[in-house]
Structure 1
Amino acid sequence: MSGGVAQLKDEGSQRQVVVAGAVAGLVSRFVIAPLDVIKIRLQLQIHSLSDPLSVTSVDGPVYKGTLGTLKHILREEGLTGLWKGNIPAEAMYLAYGSVQFSAYTYISHLLDTLPYQLPGHANSFISGAAAGACATTATYPLDLLRTRFAAQGKERVYASIAASLRHIAEHEGPRGFFRGLGAGVSQIVPYMGLFFASYEGLKPVLASSGVPMPFGTSDAAAGIIASVLSKTAVYPLDTIRKRLQVQGPNRLKYVHRNIPMYTGVLSTLAHIWKHEGRRGMYRGLTVSLLKAAPASAVTMWTYERAMGVMLNMDQPLKDE
């Protein structure tokens, strides 16, 4: 088993893992919130900028790239528009980080009890994929609320989080809170598996390379590289998830007023491929990668630092 796997699994108690994961998720979410809003707006835009005829009857905004979307939101909605959906997103990241790291360490230790010991990278892949699936399912209603609030333009679809909960429960039922969950789990399983396997493999290599690293640490550099590779591989599923999350009675009230009606993962994939082509599947990928790099770097860096602080605080108690 690789030293990187053992290091992440064996540091700290279960409580310390939960706290460090929660802190990492909270800090990371606040830093990348504006990029997240921009990404969601681009993913929900179905018209093609390469085809002028596709925008002639568009009632909502027409975003042109990351900077163009940023300028449009600032001009039309102000600075606070870049943090729409941040409250449910912060709650989601707080819970997600705790569940993810807790499940990861638990499953990793569980795999270590098997009669046949898996290779280090296989252990990381399975543990990361299972932890991602658990965290995604547990926090999915918050993810759906984040998307719906970020998709609101100047016209408010929901007056508050409480109002959104009441409306979804009344008009869509319990299933309404889990629209697109299939795409979410289908995305997160390979993403987190690839991410943790890449991260655990890259961290010791980069740490011993002697080359100056971004943000000054091999943890951050490994997080950036692992996230970019993983995010690109599964990005179309993320786009499908966002399209499904805004389905429902308010579908045509969001900032893009021409979002088609989708019914499932495969039908959404087929519809996007037919009407928008390959570019439709990867719309917003640039800003997603810009978001993924600092998000993962901040997450892993904060996790390692938070864990280090708690371990240092516990050391004097053990020495007494």
Structure 2
Amino acid sequence: MQTEARVGVGGGFAAENGARKYTAAAEERPRRPQQQQQQHMGAMSNLLAGGVAGAVSKTCTAPLARLTILFQVQGMHSDVATLRKASMWREASRIVCEEGVRAFWKGNLVTIAHRLPYSSISFFAYEHYKNLLQLVPGLDRHKDYVSADICLRLLGGGLAGITAASITYPLDLVRTRLAAQTNQIYYRGISHSLQSICRDEGTRGLYKGLGATLLGVGPNIAISFSAYETLRSRWQLERPHDSPVLVSLVCGSLSGIASSTVTFPLDLVRRRMQLEGAGGRARVYNTGLFGTFGHIIRCEGFRGLYRGILPEYYKVVPGVGIVFMTYEILKSCLSASTATD
């Protein structure tokens, strides 16, 4: 599409060189099926590399992710005195002593099962929404205006994130409940969790906290994109000879920290709403999304909205590095194998 757009813009040059344009077009026609196949294989390589990179990153950072979840849900059934004694190292020691080292990876299987379809749906939906949005007046000239191009990417990314999150949300809920289990085991695995939730809470129970998730998807992508692009362009302007890998790694980590800081309260509320009624426990929040925010601030203070933010920060930096490294390695390997075929 980009090549075709550039040809269209260069109409004056083509008019002056009509014979050359005709010859080039004639030479291109036989190659189009092969080019389309290469583009298709390239898209599949990106899709597979992205999915595997996400799964590897989630597995490596699973201990920090579980600590984040445990801190986020502490305020649901704990008093203020207990919350003041909580610390990341004390909680990690408790997990090792009471549940064993393997407990750090509780719910990781369902995380991987969630990540692969989530990445696939996001990739497909993003391209689909971009094509649809290009029909909107103003966005159809996104190649000519930077603001229109940014708007197209933000809207496409936000809609793709909302679509993927909605479809794969039950797996995200199951992952939270498995990771939040400590000494009392309510759910024995993915299938048992799904069956138990449907039996005890109905099908709607699989979508508890979806509203907070959808509210957080758009801002998260927008903040990540804006922060990453701003930091990267500023860095490259002042230090143009630095390694692109280093620039992407640092700017990606900082953008992840920025987006996590802004959207963390929504993520915390989502986790708590996901655990409502788990294992037959009494409901804590009965007033919806905004009522849950008010309840947390009233009972735990404003700091309660950021309970678990420290392990989240520790998770962001290595997570981005692992994703970037794995993605590039797999993409190179898959591209090389495609070229030899």
TM-score interval, normalised by the smaller of the two chains: 0.7 to 0.9
From 186, 202, 205, the equivalent of 1:157 is 186
From 118, 121, 124, the equivalent of 1:102 is 124
Q: Does 1:175 align with 2:232?
A: no
Contact 2:50 2:119 in 1 (8 A): yes
Deviations 1:173-209 (A, max 9, x none): 1111110000011111110222234334544655673
User: Separation in 2 of the partners of 1:103 and 1:299?
Assistant: 21
User: Separation in 1 of the partners of 2:77 and 2:306?
Assistant: 12
131-140 or 235-244, larger mean C-alpha shift: 131-140
User: Separation in 1 of the partners of 2:233 and 2:339?
Assistant: 25
1:281 aligned partner: 305
2:267 aligned partner: 238
Deviations 1:292-311 (A, max 9, x none): 22223322443344333323
Instruction: Say which SS state the counterpart of residue 159 (structure 1) adopts.
Output: coil
User: Separation in 2 of the partners of 1:47 and 1:293?
Assistant: 28
More helix by share: 2
TM-score (norm 2): 0.77
| 1:66-145 matched pairs, under 5 angstroms | 66-112=88-134, 114-117=139-142, 119=147, 120-145=149-174
Q: CA deviation at 1:263?
A: 4.5
Q: CA deviation at 1:274?
A: 1.1
Q: Which has the higher contact order (CA 8 A, sep 6+)?
A: 1
**Structure exhibiting the larger radius of gyration computed from Cα positions:** 2
Pair 39,144 (structure 1): closer, same or farther in 2 beyond 3 Å: same
Contact 1:235 1:285 in 2 (8 A): yes
| Amino acid across the alignment from 2:99 | E
Pair 54,316 (structure 1): closer, same or farther in 2 beyond 3 Å: closer
Q: CA deviation at 1:210?
A: 4.7
Q: CA deviation at 1:40?
A: 0.5
Q: CA deviation at 1:278?
A: 0.7
Q: CA deviation at 1:270?
A: 1.0
Q: CA deviation at 1:243?
A: 0.4
Instruction: Say which SS state the counterpart of residue 75 (structure 2) adopts.
Output: coil
User: Separation in 2 of the partners of 1:181 and 1:295?
Assistant: 24
1:54 aligned partner: 80
Deviations 1:111-159 (A, max 9, x none): 4554332624323322222222122112111110111011111221112
300-309 or 218-227, larger mean C-alpha shift: 300-309
Pair 180,112 (structure 1): closer, same or farther in 2 beyond 3 Å: same
Q: CA deviation at 1:169?
A: 1.1
| Amino acid across the alignment from 1:90 | I
Pair 116,177 (structure 1): closer, same or farther in 2 beyond 3 Å: same
| Amino acid across the alignment from 1:70 | A
Deviations 1:34-78 (A, max 9, x none): 0011001100111899xxx733xx6xx986222222112112111
2:221 aligned partner: 192
Pair 105,304 (structure 1): closer, same or farther in 2 beyond 3 Å: farther
2:35 aligned partner: none
User: Separation in 2 of the partners of 1:311 and 1:202?
Assistant: 29
1:306 aligned partner: 330
Structure 1: runs of 5 or more not aligned: 1-9, 253-257
User: Separation in 2 of the partners of 1:34 and 1:184?
Assistant: 22
User: Separation in 1 of the partners of 2:92 and 2:277?
Assistant: 27
Q: Does 1:260 align with 2:284?
A: yes
**Alignment identity in percent?**
32
Contact 1:184 1:241 in 2 (8 A): yes
2:17 aligned partner: none
User: Separation in 1 of the partners of 2:106 and 2:241?
Assistant: 39
Instruction: Say which SS state the counterpart of residue 260 (structure 1) adopts.
Output: coil
The Cα RMSD (Å) is 2.9
119-128 or 274-283, larger mean C-alpha shift: 119-128
2:86 aligned partner: 64
User: Separation in 2 of the partners of 1:285 and 1:84?
Assistant: 20
Contact 1:38 1:70 in 2 (8 A): yes
